[in-house]
């Protein structure tokens, strides 16, 4: 075991110079990991969480860690948590609350004291339980690789060893440890898997943990191949256009398992109702999907994704110099005789200041809006203008108009209304820039 443990550390780039923060509960798993690190002269400090869930036992665990650390002159950190209150406040289970509190604190220590790694004592049985937990709740391939030996700065050097391996090591090396009585409480799902489901599975295959370990290794390799394939498909199918992303629906449908590919493409943006999105492919344009950060719409032969588009309006006073909406909009006034219109970009609207009535209004366009496009005599509905310009649905949704006395002065960043254009007699220019 020692030889394999040291090889594992080497494989994940842990050296004798690495500064490790060891999560130490006092149970057999973490005490074995501590002993292995201590015996082989690795640099580590100890962090112990007292979740205050088991009364006197929790305090005895804390005393045990404190005494052990002091006797070996090892730096240790102890913190008590009101786990039940945190769980109630955040409406999560006790186990999820403990996990959040634990890792938030560990990461704070990691940053504050400049550790290189956080080490936990997860082992092969934990990994098997994790896979079964994911299978019961439903999962994709990412839920089948078990617990990774390294995840950025978090390392789990014991994940290749079974619980039996650790108990045997503890026995052979006279390692003291605490027993957590809550591990036998089957009200927790993981405990139920460990204490009820796995024993039944072992009746079928006594070598279950070892067999599952080999399967985990194979699935990890399959996941690597899958992820590379998905990355290639993202490059091919997910096309970025400024701040938008487009997916060619016809190209997607030609892929093997197009619904699964769709999931991988849009789940990164927080869209998970794959069946609804997939069914929209046979619907007319205009089907919309929303979440807190992104907006997605089926527009003809494409799915188009952009950041969430809020339907906000803004009052613009004479002294307003800028606003932030979907884009930054800046306002300034210039003397017409000193202003060179020819040097202005297409994102600059130049209006006759004398024709404006403040306050102005910036708002999204709406059905029925019309204006007189610069250079034309007659009025044109914005909806018809968008058709002529072949606007996408997202372009329409992002369109903002500047209003003066209930008249559209311009489509911001696109087209001026002829009624507000500069003429020879103009004295001041109102400049709107995006």
| Residue found by looking up tokens 């006395």 in the block | 405
pLDDT score recorded for residue 326: 65
pLDDT score recorded for residue 211: 95
Look at residues 307, 327, 354 and tell me which one is the last residue of a structural domain. 307
pLDDT (average), residues 146-156:
93
The secondary structure of residue 402, as a DSSP letter, is E
- What secondary structure, in 3-state letters, does 254-308 show? CCCCHHHHHHHHHHHHCCCCHHHHHHHHHCCCCCEEECCCEEEEEECCEEEEEEC
What total of structural domains would you count in the chain? Answer: 3
Q: In this predicted model, what pLDDT tens digit does every residue of 164-193 receive, in sequence order?
A: 999 999 999 999 999 887 777 787 788 899
Same domain, residue pair 24 and 165: yes
Same domain, residue pair 318 and 303: no
Judge whether 234 lies within some domain. no
pLDDT score recorded for residue 324: 85
Number of H helices, E strands in the chain: 15, 22
Q: Quick one: tokens of 322?
A: 């800028």
pLDDT score recorded for residue 292: 84
Judge whether 228 lies within some domain. no
Domain containing 159 equals 1-223
Same domain, residue pair 403 and 330: yes
Same domain, residue pair 333 and 291: no
pLDDT score recorded for residue 68: 92
Same domain, residue pair 354 and 324: yes
Judge whether 96 lies within some domain. yes
Q: In this predicted model, what pLDDT tens digit does every residue of 333-377 receive, in sequence order?
A: 999 876 666 556 668 899 999 999 999 999 999 999 999 999 998
Look at residues 174, 196, 223 and tell me which one is the last residue of a structural domain. 223
**Over the chain, what is the mean pLDDT?**
92
Question: At 66, which CATH number?
Answer: 3.40.50.620
Same domain, residue pair 205 and 256: no
Separation in Å, CA 253 to CA 260, 277, 283, 410: 11, 13, 15, 40
pLDDT (average), residues 317-324:
92
Question: At 363, which CATH number?
Answer: 3.50.40.10
pLDDT score recorded for residue 276: 94
Quote the CA–CA distance of 314 and 39 in Å, as a whole number.
Answer: 67
Q: In this predicted model, what pLDDT tens digit does every residue of 252-287 receive, in sequence order?
A: 999 999 999 999 999 999 999 999 999 999 989 889
pLDDT score recorded for residue 342: 54
Same domain, residue pair 324 and 413: yes
pLDDT score recorded for residue 357: 96
Judge whether 359 lies within some domain. yes
pLDDT (average), residues 92-105:
92
Q: In this structure, are residues 432 and 316 in contact, taking their beta carbons and an 8 Å threshold? A: no
Judge whether 414 lies within some domain. yes
pTM of the model: 0.71
């Amino acid at each position: 075991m020692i030889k394999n443990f040291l090889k594992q550390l080497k494989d994940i780039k842990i050296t004798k110079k690495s500064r490790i923060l060891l999560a130490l509960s006092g149970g057999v798993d973490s005490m074995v990991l501590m002993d292995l690190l201590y015996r082989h002269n690795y640099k580590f400090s100890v962090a112990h969480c007292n979740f205050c869930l088991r009364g006197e036992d929790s305090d005895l665990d804390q005393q045990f860690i404190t005494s052990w650390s002091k006797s070996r002159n090892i730096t240790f950190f102890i913190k008590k948590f009101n786990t039940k209150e945190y769980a109630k406040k955040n409406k999560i289970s006790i186990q999820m609350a403990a996990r959040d509190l634990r890792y938030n604190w560990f990461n704070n220590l990691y940053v504050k004291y400049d550790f290189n790694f956080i080490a936990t004592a997860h082992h092969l049985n934990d990994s098997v339980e994790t896979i079964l937990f994911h299978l019961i709740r439903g999962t994709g391939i990412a839920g089948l690789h078990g617990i990774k030996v390294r995840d950025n700065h978090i390392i789990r050097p014991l994940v290749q060893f079974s619980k039996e391996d650790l108990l045997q090591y503890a026995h052979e090396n006279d390692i003291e440890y605490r027993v957590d009585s809550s591990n036998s409480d089957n009200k927790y799902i993981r405990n139920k898997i460990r204490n009820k489901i796995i024993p039944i599975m072992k009746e079928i295959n006594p070598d279950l943990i070892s067999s599952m370990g080999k399967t985990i290794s194979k699935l990890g390799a399959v996941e690597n191949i899958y992820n590379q394939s998905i990355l290639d498909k993202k490059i091919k199918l997910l096309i970025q256009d400024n701040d938008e992303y487009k997916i060619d629906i016809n190209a997607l449908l030609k892929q093997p398992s197009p619904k699964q590919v769709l999931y991988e493409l849009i789940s990164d943006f927080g869209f998970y109702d794959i069946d609804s999105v997939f069914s929209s492919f046979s619907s007319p344009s205009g089907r919309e999907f929303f979440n807190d950060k992104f907006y997605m719409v089926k527009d003809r032969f494409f799915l188009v994704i952009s950041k969430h588009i809020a339907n906000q309006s803004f009052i613009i006073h004479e002294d307003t110099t800028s606003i932030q909406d979907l884009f930054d909009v800046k306002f300034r006034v210039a003397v017409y005789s000193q202003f060179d219109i020819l040097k202005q970009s297409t994102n600059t609207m130049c209006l006759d200041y004398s024709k404006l009535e403040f306050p102005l209004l910036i708002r999204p366009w709406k059905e029925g809006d019309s204006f007189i496009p610069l250079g034309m005599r007659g009025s044109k509905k914005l909806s018809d203008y968008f058709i002529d310009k072949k606007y996408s649905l997202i372009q329409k949704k992002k369109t903002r108009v500047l209003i003066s006395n209930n008249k559209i002065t311009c489509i911001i960043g696109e087209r001026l209304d002829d009624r507000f254009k500069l003429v020879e007699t103009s004295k001041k220019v109102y400049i709107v820039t995006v």
